[in-house]
Amino acid sequence: MYWELAAIIAVLLTVVGITIAPRLGVASPLLLIALGFGLAMLPWVDSIAINPEWVLAGVLPPLLYAAAVNTPVMEFRRDLRLISTFSVVLVVVTAVAIGWVATLLVPGLPLGVGIALGAIISPTDAVAVSIVRKAGVSSRLVTVLEGESMLNDASALVLLRTAVAAIGVSVSLWSVVASFVWAVVGAVVIGWLVGKLNLVVRRWITSMPAGVALSLVVPFLAYLPAEALEASGLVAAVTAGIVVSYEAPRRIGAEERLAERAVWATVELLLESTVFLLVGVELPSLVDQYSEDGTYLTHPVGLASVVFTLALLIRAAFVGVGVWRLARRNRRLAPARDRLSEIHDRLADGELPPLSQARTSRRLRLQRITAEPERRSQWRRLLRRRIADLDYLAAEQFSWRDGTILVWAGMRGAVTIAAAQSLPVDLAHRPLIILTATTIAMGTLIIQGLTLEPLAKRLGVTTADTAADPALWRQLQAELDAAALAALPPVQSDGNSELLERVRERLSQSTEGAGKNWFGFQGAEAEQAWATFRELRLTALAGQRAALLELRSLGTYPTALLDDALAQLDAQQISIELRQQYD
């Protein structure tokens, strides 16, 4: 009865927090923390302590999977180098540096425990990205921060597990590196297999509720075997989500995807809110639990201040170098784009690209490409995608202002607290580490969370929504209309030629108000015209969806714009299929 009541209260607080936070001008995660803290302070509420395994194994896999499913895969690929640097290299450097400094500040603290502390507070929190998104910064900034938060949780937990296992045990550097590499590579392989298997099985499931129900267990199907094989279950869940995100429009029907999207949006909202509520609810019990230990009571705040300042400085250095390198690369974008465009145009004309300085072997290879139309088409496609990448990087360049947001948006949260509580109960200095991690998580969520949006506005990094660009939308619609007409069968010189031609003319117009008499026919002719229209409209929609997915693969339009267009196509298909059931 107790847990049922707690679940009801959690949902109600979530609804209250999400509803009134915008009216108060406060980010909803911060309000949820305050609500959780207020709930825990009520006199009739007992001390609450949540098992960290519930968060690490029960909340994080579906939460990170939901984030991965909604991640723009093309933008993620374009900034994968930067995301990987922040989510792996930055985590390792921060953990080692903090571990060394912590041993100097706390007498008798083993280096392994210090590195464990660094691994705990290194990752930015996945749910904290919601604050960044609401600040209105550029989509590229959101993608980088979201990708970092998805992957650095996994790398930090792997490093934490390695550091704890190495305490008091002699291990070699190579064994640590091998364990880390396997944790990542093995997880990617398992996650990829689970994601592909899910899509294959979904093709054979005809019941929409059954298909959506299967999607709810996919993150755990990736997480559990990865953990059993000592790989990272979180990386496996993220990989499965990315695979599903990229392949779902090709493999899963429109109605099922729409239902699944709504279900997962609800699940993500509840899990995010639960994590923030837990942060507030557990704070009083943590203080009460360790306040009796006078040895450590005065240390956490001071240690947290020094350690977080160090982590912030290291992050600032990484971001500064990253933005500087991106600026250097951006100066070479225009010449590289011109060169690739020239090669693409020559291949389109069946000519050999200019290679006066190329080796003979390379010239012969390109001559073979030019001689084979299919391979030439593949190379042209690769060149188009690379040109689109360069256009994106040129349009979404990072400045020092964006770098400032990247630094300040590195908030910690519930993952840090849960990771700290997962330490062995007999580990020396465990109370100090838990209170230090909790202080940092709470401090960053409050200080950075409250100031991030005003800082973004002050620096002028808030941007307009490219998905709302009317000219770009019309350009995309023109391409999709052309794809629709190309997908239709040609008008034949038979008895249905007049009907077919009139239906083709109507396809580019809205179907609102369409009915059996829409074509000017009566009786049986009207029935036949309407049936023909439905078949051709579904054929045209299939052609448009294929063209849209190809454009997404090339990256020639913003992902948000393509998502809106895909949602429009899905809505039209569902409308036609529903009307077909009642005709």
Average pLDDT over residues 257-264: 87
Asked whether the beta carbons of 88 and 321 are under 8 A apart, the reply is: no
At residue 520 the predicted structure's pLDDT band, cuts being 50, 70 and 90, is: low
**pLDDT at residue number 241:** 92
512 pLDDT more than 50: no
At residue 225 the predicted structure's pLDDT band, cuts being 50, 70 and 90, is: very high
The structure tokens listed for 51 are 């098992």
At residue 310 the predicted structure's pLDDT band, cuts being 50, 70 and 90, is: very high
Which residues neighbour 545 within 8 Å (Cβ) at sequence distance 6 or greater? 249, 566, 569
Indicate the pTM of the whole model.
0.80
Length of the chain in residues, anyone? 583
Average pLDDT over residues 504-521: 53
150 pLDDT more than 90: no
At residue 45 the predicted structure's pLDDT band, cuts being 50, 70 and 90, is: low
Domain boundary among 463, 487, 505: 463
Asked whether the beta carbons of 32 and 287 are under 8 A apart, the reply is: no
**288 and 378 share one domain:** no
CA-closest candidate to residue 323, choices 391, 376, 398: 398
Asked whether the beta carbons of 467 and 561 are under 8 A apart, the reply is: yes
**239 and 117 share one domain:** yes
Strongest mean pLDDT among 176-190, 214-228, 437-451, 513-527: 214-228
**pLDDT at residue number 88:** 87
**pLDDT at residue number 123:** 86
At residue 222 the predicted structure's pLDDT band, cuts being 50, 70 and 90, is: very high
**106 and 240 share one domain:** yes
**pLDDT at residue number 147:** 85
**504 and 371 share one domain:** no
Q: Which residue has the tokens 């190329």?
A: 358
**369 and 456 share one domain:** no
Average pLDDT over residues 557-573: 85
Asked whether the beta carbons of 126 and 411 are under 8 A apart, the reply is: no
**335 and 401 share one domain:** no
Residue 460 gets the label, from left (phi > 0), alpha (psi -120 to 50) or beta, of: left
Domain extent at residue 383: 328-352+361-395
Strongest mean pLDDT among 46-60, 191-205, 272-286, 475-489: 191-205
Average pLDDT over residues 539-556: 86
387 pLDDT more than 50: yes
**pLDDT at residue number 93:** 92
At residue 291 the predicted structure's pLDDT band, cuts being 50, 70 and 90, is: low
At residue 500 the predicted structure's pLDDT band, cuts being 50, 70 and 90, is: low
At residue 523 the predicted structure's pLDDT band, cuts being 50, 70 and 90, is: low
Average pLDDT over residues 331-359: 66
Asked whether the beta carbons of 554 and 540 are under 8 A apart, the reply is: no
The CATH number that applies at residue 278 is 1.20.1530.20
**192 and 84 share one domain:** yes
**pLDDT at residue number 162:** 79
**281 and 184 share one domain:** yes
Q: What percent of the chain has pLDDT over 70?
A: 78
CA-closest candidate to residue 271, choices 422, 417, 42, 65: 65
**Domain count across the chain:** 3
**480 and 333 share one domain:** no
Q: CA-to-CA distance for 125 and 145, rounded, in angstroms?
A: 10
Per-residue model confidence as pLDDT tens digits over 243-256: 998 888 888 888 88
Average pLDDT, the chain: 78
**pLDDT at residue number 467:** 53
**485 and 503 share one domain:** yes
Strongest mean pLDDT among 85-94, 151-160, 320-329, 382-391: 85-94
**pLDDT at residue number 98:** 92
Indicate the SS3 state at residue 106: coil
**pLDDT at residue number 510:** 47
Domain boundary among 429, 444, 463: 463
At residue 94 the predicted structure's pLDDT band, cuts being 50, 70 and 90, is: very high
Per-residue model confidence as pLDDT tens digits over 425-480: 777 777 788 888 888 887 888 888 788 878 888 887 766 555 557 888 888 888 88
Between residues 327 and 514, which one has the greater pLDDT?
Answer: 327
Domain boundary among 463, 486, 515: 463
**480 and 410 share one domain:** no
CA-closest candidate to residue 393, choices 450, 340, 436: 340
Strongest mean pLDDT among 311-320, 366-375, 521-530: 311-320
At residue 374 the predicted structure's pLDDT band, cuts being 50, 70 and 90, is: low
**416 and 344 share one domain:** no
